[in-house]
Amino acid sequence: MLQKLASFAGVQGPLVTIVMDGYGLAKSETGSAIAAARKPTLDRLFANYPNISLRAHGTAVGMPSDEDMGNSEVGHNAIGAGQVYSQGAALVADAIASGAIWAGEAWQQIVAGAKSGTLHFIGLFSDGNVHSHIDHLKAMVARAKQEGVKTVRVHALLDGRDVPETSALDYTVPFEAFLQELSTDGFDARIASGGGRMNITMDRYDANWSMVEKGWHTHVLGEGDQFASATEAVNALRERFPGTIDQDLPPFVVARDGKPVGTIEDGDAVVLFNFRGDRSIEITRAFEELAFDKFDRVRAPRVTYAGMLQYDGDLKLPQRFLVNPPAITDTSGEWFSKSGVAQFACSETQKFGHVTYFWNGNRSGKFDGETYQEVPSDVVPFEQRPWMKSAEIADAMIAALQSGKYKTLRCNFANGDMVGHTGNFRAATMAVEAVDLALARLLPVIDAMGGIALITADHGNADEMYELDKKTKLPAQNKDGSFKAKTAHTLNPVPLVLYDNVSGGKLGLKALAGAGLSNIAATTANLLGFEKHAKWDESLLEIK
């Protein structure tokens, strides 16, 4: 149990933490869908309540460097755990640099498994460093050759979501040249299949299994439109589907004489080179589960399978993994549970695991006293529904608040992020407006219950909807003069607002130098009248 705080007995009513996904604080209003949105409730919050900015990217959330943008996994891990851990991106880079990955049993088993067959790598094909990094893939392919593997096939999921929206050729062209150069002395490495990451394979949280089924037919069965190389496929598909950005491109298969070059067969080895779990779990289940029933696999090859990391510590998924995940312990969820605090967590499908699984340190299980509610997301491109399920999440939160059953409640509004990722500026302004409307409904209920809210975000996205020119720092332009849409997250800090109409001005927020998302757990503990856990970063609550 956490110790009681001497200076503050804690809020009498509920404490609500609201994560506005993808809501960063931009330096400039140009290209910010947040600045362009009409958002009277948010404006009122920033004008009238204590608010500070928090670091949400780079080393503040356990990424290898401050050049790395934040993302929902590391952001929610930091918020929920109250601590910063070296995250997958950093752990894998370190394991490769030190060579520890090659000495590990899992890599040895993969190499042994591939000696008589083919070694396949499936994963997100970019240097976004959110789910994967292409340098990790290159290191593994080169090492596989050194260790005597003869055939390597890569199944490349085109990104355009964590990197510029039409950058696929920046990766396929040099990478296919790299594979060709390496393909000497009886070694043969090629890209065998692929497609847009939001079209195949990388679904999350059971939102749309048909994406994974399409990926299976592409990577494993080798079914689909055939091309001579990945580069040729990208060029041809762009011509065939004008305006389609990389993340949405349809699947492709690389073939020679009408025959796919890299179907996955019995006796092969498969490495899923994504280190992040949410979008890796479903395809992993398709490979690992004997009694798999999410779709008809047609053929389920017996392969030696490994994930880059273990994606779910509770489900032990996958069984074999190349690098140990961060050992996230003593999270706020666990300690509030041990302190008898009833907790409620809610979001729509697309972000449901963020406020449950990521929040609790990549564990799909629940701590005692936790209640989860998932609002099913629409299965549509979100620029068509920028309001997403903000109203339904507000409904669920209001009902949970009014039930009086929960002392802490947390939710995530996905809009700023999911619509921000589409690169559609107009839709992103509506996304922000939808969140504003939801807050306008939620805040009075918090007041009525005598509660307090912390309003924050996990990283930026809608705050910069145009790519900035590296030299001029002004929005970059397409050939036709339009601005180049930016689909990725930003490096901007995020807000932390203390919505408090109950303490009579006793409470405020400290602007601690370098404060980041990991300071939120201790702040929450103090607001509940507890000392922070010794492992958590400092509280930002000022008690006057």
List 145, 153, 161, 214, residue binding ligand 3PG (CB under 6 A): 161
Beta pairing class for 343-348 and 304-309: unpaired
Residues 357, 370: Cα–Cα separation, whole Å: 12
Residue 129: closest CA among 99, 162, 94: 162
Check the annotation: does 351 bind a ligand: yes
Nearer to ligand 3PG, 131 or 153 (CB): 131
Q: How far is the CB of 65 from ligand 3PG (least distance, A)?
A: 17
CA distances from 12 to 52, 408, 451 (A): 24, 11, 7
Cβ-count burial 327-342 (b if 16+ within 10 Å, e if not)? ebebbbbbbbbebebb
> Considering 32, 72, 193, 339, which one is annotated as catalytic?
72
Residues 452, 252: Cα–Cα separation, whole Å: 51
Per CB under 6 A, 279 contacts ligand 3PG: yes
Per CB under 6 A, 72 contacts ligand 3PG: yes
Q: Does the annotation mark 32 as catalytic?
A: no
Segment near ligand 3PG (CB under 6 A), from 67-75, 336-344, 359-367, 526-534?
67-75
Check the annotation: does 246 bind a ligand: no
**Could you tell which of Co ion, ligand 3PG, none binds residue 218, using a CB distance below 5 to 8 A set by kind?**
none
Give the contact letters, 370-409, x = binds to Co ion (CB under 5 A), - = no.
----------------------------------------
338: tokens are: 């041990």
Give the contact letters, 408-447, x = binds to Co ion (CB under 5 A), - = no.
---------x------------------------------
Residues 317-376 that bind ligand 3PG (CB under 6 A): none
Beta pairing class for 51-54 and 541-543: unpaired
| Site size with Co ion, rule: CB under 5 A | 1
List 32, 51, 71, 415, residue binding ligand 3PG (CB under 6 A): 71
Q: How far is the CB of 458 from ligand 3PG (least distance, A)?
A: 7
Segment near ligand 3PG (CB under 6 A), from 31-39, 65-73, 92-100, 494-502?
65-73
Check the annotation: does 24 bind a ligand: no
Check the annotation: does 161 bind a ligand: yes
List 213, 282, 334, 417, residue binding ligand 3PG (CB under 6 A): 417
CB-closest chain residue to ligand 3PG: 72
**Could you tell which of ligand 3PG, Co ion, none binds residue 231, using a CB distance below 5 to 8 A set by kind?**
none
Return the CA Rg of the chain: 23
List 20, 52, 64, 162, residue binding ligand 3PG (CB under 6 A): 162
Nearer to ligand 3PG, 226 or 415 (CB): 415
Exposed, middle or buried, 528 (CB in 10 Å: 0-12/13-18/19+)?
buried
**Could you tell which of Co ion, ligand 3PG, none binds residue 363, using a CB distance below 5 to 8 A set by kind?**
none
Residue 476: closest CA among 31, 26, 24, 170: 31
Check the annotation: does 162 bind a ligand: yes
Q: How far is the CB of 418 from ligand 3PG (least distance, A)?
A: 7
Q: How many residues does the chain have?
A: 544
Cα-based torsion angle of the residue sequence 131, 133, 137, 142 in order, rounded to the nearest 10 degrees: -160
| 357 Cβ neighbours under 8 A, 6+ residues apart | 277, 278, 312, 363, 364
Check the annotation: does 354 bind a ligand: no
Check the annotation: does 441 bind a ligand: no
Residues 301, 151: Cα–Cα separation, whole Å: 17
Residues 325, 331: Cα–Cα separation, whole Å: 16
Check the annotation: does 65 bind a ligand: no
> In 95-150, at which residue ranges do the beta strands (DSSP E only) sit?
118-125
Check the annotation: does 104 bind a ligand: no
Residue 492: closest CA among 86, 75, 38, 17: 75
Instruction: Check whether the bond before 376 is cis (ω within 30° of 0).
Output: no
Exposed, middle or buried, 163 (CB in 10 Å: 0-12/13-18/19+)?
buried
Give residue 461's identity as a one-letter amino acid code: N
**Could you tell which of Co ion, ligand 3PG, none binds residue 332, using a CB distance below 5 to 8 A set by kind?**
none
Residues 298, 514: Cα–Cα separation, whole Å: 53
| Site size with ligand 3PG, rule: CB under 6 A | 10
Interacting residues toward Co ion by CB under 5 A: 417
Q: What are the binding residues? A: 21, 72, 131, 161-162, 197, 204, 276-279, 351, 417, 421, 458-459, 489
Q: What are the binding residues for substrate? A: 131, 161-162, 197, 204, 276-279, 351
Interacting residues toward ligand 3PG by CB under 6 A: 71-73, 130-131, 161-162, 279, 417, 421
Active site residues: 72
